Amino acid sequence: MNFSNDLAVKAEKINNLMEEVLSPDTGYAEYLMDAMRYSVNGGGKRLRPMLMEETCKLFDRKSEELKYFMAALELIHSYSLVHDDMPCIDNDEYRRGRKTTHAVYGETTALLAGDGLLNYAYETAAKAFDVTNDAALCGKALKVLSKKAGIFGMVGGQAADVETEKNGALLSKDRLLYIHENKTGALIEAAMMIGGILGGAGDDEIKKLEEAGSSIGIAFQIRDDILDVEGSFEELGKPIGSDAENSKETYVTLFGMDKAKEDVKTYSDKALSIIGTLGKGNEFLVKLVESLVLRTK
């Protein structure tokens, strides 16, 4: 297999899906939809919907519902980035080498664009009920999506991160792992769990997918901390060294670079070991996970 070519083809397929999902004319709200499109079409790798699709392929059920959940997850991820970049949180002007949504459209429109993307995500996921032959399975996937995106997932992790940074809360290892697992890992867990659910995986297999997603998310975020030290603007498309500049504690500052790199391998090996025990195998999925945790950008 040619992983790079396959990755580009799959990403373009998801780009087309997102373009289709965001195509409706919204009348007097079209300016807001333009901001939503800008946010989604910011050069992302589409890794979360791709993980969902590739995890689904581990199992035997053909899913008609999958594309709606793939799109919904990417909409949720995009909204989280819009809000994360805003002055009240990280105050970032660049993401993936271009201006962030609030830097282009202003804070008010960016706030509403994030709100719009989140709500439109659930509207999009709900369309799966129109095509499903198993409403209970569809409902199970929707339950995972809503939980992992909310206070018991991504939003909870974001809140803990903001409290730590803004209010000077003590950053212990447990707290840092909670932030990484939820702020970053929760949507990766959702991707793999929903892929498994819609593919027909059993409850024990879905639990294992959740564990694999958690490990991938933690490894991914530790790698992000490493890249903030060792990366470059040209590679990452955003300023580096911002954690140190803002005196923000990270996995690297708490445990050192060598330990951080060691733990990236430990968590990624755990995830790959779990994936290897599930379903019928998927070489591309293995390569995708490896690319996530060993990336240079």
User: At which residue do the structure tokens 């470059």 appear?
Assistant: 232
Report the Cα 296 to chain-centroid distance in Å.
Answer: 17
Residue 172 has a pLDDT of: 85
Q: Which segments in the chain show pLDDT lower than 70?
A: 168-169, 231-247, 296-297
User: At which residue do the structure tokens 């790079």 appear?
Assistant: 4
Q: What is the C-alpha separation between 39 and 211, in angstroms, rounded?
A: 30
Q: What is the pTM of this model?
A: 0.92
Q: What is the C-alpha separation between 186 and 142, in angstroms, rounded?
A: 14
Residue 247 has a pLDDT of: 57
**C-beta of residue 272 within 8 angstroms of C-beta of residue 290:** yes
Candidates 59, 63, 17; CA nearest to 40 is 17
Q: What is the C-alpha separation between 169 and 166, in angstroms, rounded?
A: 8
Half-sphere exposure of 17 (CA within 13 A, CB side): 21
Three-class DSSP category at 150:
coil
Candidates 282, 284, 274, 279; CA nearest to 202 is 279
